[in-house]
A and B are shown apart, each in its own frame.
Chain A
Amino acid sequence: MVEEAANGLEALETIQKEKVDLALVDWNMPDMDGREFIREVRQDKTYKDMRMIMVTTETAITKVEEALEAGADEYIMKPFTKEIILEKLALLGMDTSNASK
């Protein structure tokens, strides 16, 4: 099941209601951006198994470092293809056998 959230605050509410295995997190969001969301989640041990991939237009290596320091497991630059997402999921050891769904 896929849940959507318009910003980091909504995403926090979502993960409190639903068990989320993977979050694709956009850096550039209103109210609470992706980096703030990831930092917030990583401070709560409840979500220690949740994987988070930062998705962003930011291409500078310093931004990659910032995302990883915040607690992101991986980083995807836009534009991306489905294959890139699958590759990142495989790197995280996630099951992609149902990816077409």
Chain B
Amino acid sequence: MAMECKEEISQFVTDIWSTFLSMKVSPTDKPFKPEGKGNTLAGCVQITGEWQGSVTLYAPKEIGKKVAATMYSLDEGEVEDQQIQDVIGEITNVLAGNIKSILPAPCSISLPCVAVTDFDLHHPGSEMLSAVNFDCEGSSFLVVVHHKK
């Protein structure tokens, strides 16, 4: 994946949100800005093989709660932190799997890991290849693809 592939990332994300969650999201120029410390979740999946890098999804807890409520068929007030982390990991996993389909084969994806972060997840030895902001019902989230140098 030499290019930024923003269009493909946008397509994958909108498909995942609409198919899995029946939620409409769209790419936006409005940058993702975390509000308050410890309010951002980062789901990350590593890709190894013919192409090496990572896919990271940054989302505010507020979006994680909406997604978890939809996925578990709960009211937002009933959603637990563990469920929010699980869905952020799962969505990142599905997204990485989709992105893998446009990468040179063979590649493998890791299990997802999820961190509660202040939006400062570092990827040593990697360069940012692409970053796409999305709007989800008035809130923003961000997808970043890093390529290992």
Contact = CB atoms under 8 A, between A and B. Distances in A.
Interface of B: 15-16, 19-20, 93-94, 96-98, 100-101, 105, 109, 111
A88 B98 CA distance: 21
A78 B101 contact: no
A11 to B, nearest CB: 16
B111 A57 contact: no
Contact of B19 (A57, A58, A80): A80
A56 B97 contact: yes
Given A79-B15, A79-B16, A79-B19, A60 B101 contact: yes
Q: Is the interface of B mostly helix, strand, loop or mixed?
A: helix
A92 B111 CA distance: 29
A66 to B, nearest CB: 12
B105 A57 contact: no
Q: Is the interface of A mostly helix, strand, loop or mixed?
A: loop
Given A28-B111, A30-B111, A79-B94, A57 B100 contact: yes
Interface residues of A, number: 12
A98 interface: no
Contacts of B109: 28, 57
Interface string A70-85: 0000000011110000
Contacts, number: 34
A59 interface: yes
Interface of A: 28-30, 56-60, 78-81
B105 A60 contact: yes
B15 A57 contact: no
Contacts of A29: 111
A59 B101 contact: yes
A64 to B, nearest CB: 13
Contacts of A57: 93-94, 96-98, 100, 109
A58 B98 CA distance: 8
A99 to B, nearest CB: 14
Given A79-B15, A79-B19, A79-B20, A58 B97 contact: yes
